[in-house]
Structure 1
Amino acid sequence: MMTTTTKSGFSVGNAVDWDLAATVGGKLARQEPKTTDYTRTQAIDQLAESARASEVPVREVTGLIEGGEIPEARIVNRPDWIRAAAQSMRAMTGGGGDGARGRVPVVAGRVAGLQTGAVLAFVSSGILGQYDPFSAGGGELLLVYPNVIAVERQLRVVPKDFRMWVCLHEVTHRVQFRANPWLADHMSSALAVLTDDAGDDLPKMVGRLADYVRDRQVVVRNGEPEMGSTGVLGLLRAVQSEPQRAALDQLLVLGTLLEGHAEHVMDAVGPAVVPSVATIRNRFDQRRKRKQPPLQRLLRALLGVDAKMSQYTLGKAFVDEVVGKVGMERFNTIWTDTETLPLPREIDEPQQWIDRVL
């Protein structure tokens, strides 16, 4: 696996005290929903079984990974997920090198650790599951059972069905990465460019930011300045070099493809294995669209949560159209290498991808 090091050889991951991030994140995580021991045990057991049971139908629908061992999922609570996420981010960003760590002031590393821990704590209450291709074991599926319980209660859906439905999506991510190991390296390579600012001096970054702010007006709705996901991404681009902008586009497009493909597979497999799939899909989509309080909207925008929501919609529309026109077998050409991944403009115009690649 590639790690994100700057041109000078410095590892970005060493700028963060990851142990502190995991500790702080665990302490700041929201209280988990109250459950009986029976409900907790049942949820853990059903999620583990659903993760195993999802693998075969997902492989059949996607045509990815024929045969092979079905790995076990790890069922975790919020602090467990935060610790796993911190470890993954450390590995993904090249953290842990003793030589580079000495070049980062201890106070700066701790401040970064505190900030990272706070972000992980906020995110931890919304994660249902996640496939981590950067874990020490070479890839691991995590399912956060307190969040699954919280959402199924909120949506008032059949728990067993909802747990299987969640697993269909997350197991699709596991299949994507296990069938195409190069995807993890592609992500790491793009992230390395994105975090490499060693060749960029501060005046240039400030100048680009000033140009961005000067050329745009602040949008105000209902007496509040609006900061949507597009605005945050625009602000991020304003302080990036051209290679960094290209790397960001690569990550956004890949994320859109992976999420859209998982959504497509979830709906394709769902009716056969989830009896109440129509009700779950309808209520879950309504939940995604519901209006958030102002502070939460701001945090979601800053953390890219809303951008991720749009990835589900855009990505699914792309996969639905391509598979509908050429079938899943020809669609799978998309997993060949970096050249066959969609370009940013092709996400909105799937026919352009078909014309270019197929």
Structure 2
Amino acid sequence: MTRIGGAGTSGMVDWNLAVATAIRFVRPGPDVSRDEARAVVAELRRHAKAAEEHVRAFTRMIPEGQEPEDTPVLVVDRAGWVRANVAGFREILKPLLEKMQERRGNSAGGAVLGAVGGKVTGVELGMLLSFLASRVLGQYETFAPASRDLPASETGGGRLLLVAPNIVQVERELGVDPHDFRLWVCLHEETHRTQFTAVPWLRDHLEGEIQSFLDQTEVDPMTVLERLREAAQSLTGNRPEGEDDEGGRSLVELVQTPAQREILGRLTAVMSLLEGHADYVMDGVGPQVVPSVNEIREKFQQRRAKGASRLDQALRKLLGLDAKLRQYRDGERFVRAVVDEVGMDGFNRVWTSPNTLPTKAEIAKPADWIARVHRKADS
């Protein structure tokens, strides 16, 4: 097993145990032969390359003749997704965990957490990752550190993951054309890759917002452990007797201060923009290159909206995934409204600087963004 850098068994989280736990409990993938698996991987790589050309032509985010920074496209299994995400979590959460480590000895729950140790926290995190690892089709990892097994961009982060077994599983569940579905997924994920490679300041801006949020977090370590335990209990069915599965609290409820709520509002707006833009591009390109795009979209939307089970619904609420579903819908409506009004080049002003990103209120009222960015600039 690949170790996630340095002293993985020290501190607040045993990261290597998180990886081991997730891989141990993740659901088995769909039944495919070795030859079928090779064919799927090869096709996803071809589709990723084709999607890059389609997305660039449709979005016009990259000027002709300009070549942005290259980031790797990796086709992974569920274990590979787990390892990549643990490495990313460890990187972005490092400042917060160091702060929590300092507070552990001084807090009322410090002695308890010291006894429980990072191993239990690693197990709890691993259980959550085992749940998510069978559901993610693809992901652009913005803050991914490079490793021997999982390369990233040379400037400190960025890689596109396509989770082959999950793509195969969903295409079978939906009963859609597998070749069309694979290209459709690649179009969405490639849009995210293009967003970050074509807009160099976006990664640093997001990282700065996240670190500002974490800097203001004064969370008792036991509170975080409690949230992780609630999520793991939902997953394993071991919630206390009489406690409603749907009564779990979201991890987002750790937000405490007005400044944090303000930062979270900005982050929500950016994520709505990015997800909605990817959906808009996926549907915009789709009719020309994915013959069955309408069938795929309808079936996938139904699946996305209802979730697989009551357990899924409880965990989605706890992990804040319901908010992500709203981001897809709200963001896509924003992008569509702006493009309809001012065209694709007019919409692309959104990528000019952090000041031209939409606010949370503007996501809901695209005309306000147009008035602020276009009419003010053009007056």
Q: TM-score, normalised by structure 1?
A: 0.82
Asked whether 1:144 is paired with 2:198, we answer no
Structure 2: how far apart are the matches of 1:353 and 1:100? 39
Match of 1:192 in 2: 211
Shift of the alpha carbon at 1:41?
A: 1.2
How far did residue 164 of structure 1 move?
Answer: 0.3
1:84 aligns with 2:100: no
Residue in 1 that maps onto 2:48: 51
Give the structure 1 partner of residue 134 of structure 2.
125
Query: Are the aligned partners of 1:152 and 1:158 in contact in 2 as well (CA < 8 Å)?
Result: yes
Q: When the two structures are aligned, how many residues end up with a matched partner?
A: 323
Cα-to-partner distance string for 1:92-147 (whole Å, 9 max, x where unaligned): 22379999979875853223222221111111111000011112223100000000
1:109 aligns with 2:118: yes
Separation in structure 2 between the aligned mates of residue 89 and residue 141 of structure 1, nearest angstrom: 16
**Partner residue in 2 for 1:68:** 67
Alignment match, 1:210? none
**Deviation of 1:72 (Å):** 4.3
Secondary structure of 1:35 counterpart: coil
Distance 1:103 1:225 in 2: 32
CA distance in 1, matches of 2:206, 2:306: 31
Relative distance call for 1:288 and 1:349 in structure 2 (3 A) is same
Shift of 1:27: 1.1
What does residue range 136-285 of structure 1 map to in structure 2 within 5 Å? Answer: 136=145, 137=152, 138-197=157-216, 227=246, 232=250, 236=253, 239-285=255-301
Percent of residue pairs identical: 42
1:292/1:305 CA distance change after superposition, 3 Å? same
Please state how far the C-alpha of 1:347 moved relative to its aligned partner.
0.9
| Residues 33/193 of structure 1: CA separation in 2 closer, same or farther (3 Å cut) | same
Question: What SS is found at the alignment partner of 1:143?
Answer: strand
CA distance in 2, matches of 1:97, 1:156: 44
3-state DSSP class of the match of 1:327? helix
1:356 aligns with 2:372: yes
Contiguous gaps of at least 5 residues in structure 1: 1-12, 203-222
**C-alpha distance 319-265 of structure 1, shift in aligned 2 (>3 A):** same
Q: Distance in 2 between matches of 1:23 and 1:200?
A: 27
- For residues 292 and 99 of structure 1, the distance between their equivalents in structure 2, rounded to whole angstroms, comes to 37
SS of the residue corresponding to residue 74 of structure 1 reads strand
Structure-to-structure mapping, 1:297-316, within 5 angstroms: 297-316=313-332
Measured in 2, the distance between the counterparts of 1:187 and 1:318 equals 20
AA at the equivalent of 1:236: E
1:278-293 correspondence to structure 2 within 5 Å: 278-290=294-306, 292-293=308-309
Check conservation: 1:76, 1:143, Cα contact below 8 A.
yes
1:328 to 344, 366, 373: 344
What amino acid is aligned across from residue 79 of structure 2 in structure 1?
P
**1:18 counterpart residue number:** 15
Preserved contact between residue 256 and residue 314 of structure 1 (Cα < 8 Å): yes
C-alpha contact 1:51 1:72 (8 A) present in aligned 2:
no
Please give the root-mean-square deviation of Cα atoms over the aligned residues, in Å: 3.0
244-253 or 190-199, which moves further after superposition? 190-199
Give the Cα–Cα distance (whole angstroms) in 1 for the partners of residues 186 and 256 of structure 2: 36
SS at match of 2:162: strand
Question: Which runs of 5 or more residues in structure 2 are unaligned?
Answer: 1-9, 105-113, 146-151, 222-241, 375-379
Match of 2:144 in 1: 135
Q: How big is each residue's C-alpha offset from its partner over 1:224-280, in whole Å with a ceiling of 9 and x where there is no partner?
A: 969599x748x716x511111112112211111000000010011111111111111
For residue 311 of structure 2, what is the aligned residue in structure 1?
A: 295
Q: Secondary structure of 1:31's match?
A: coil
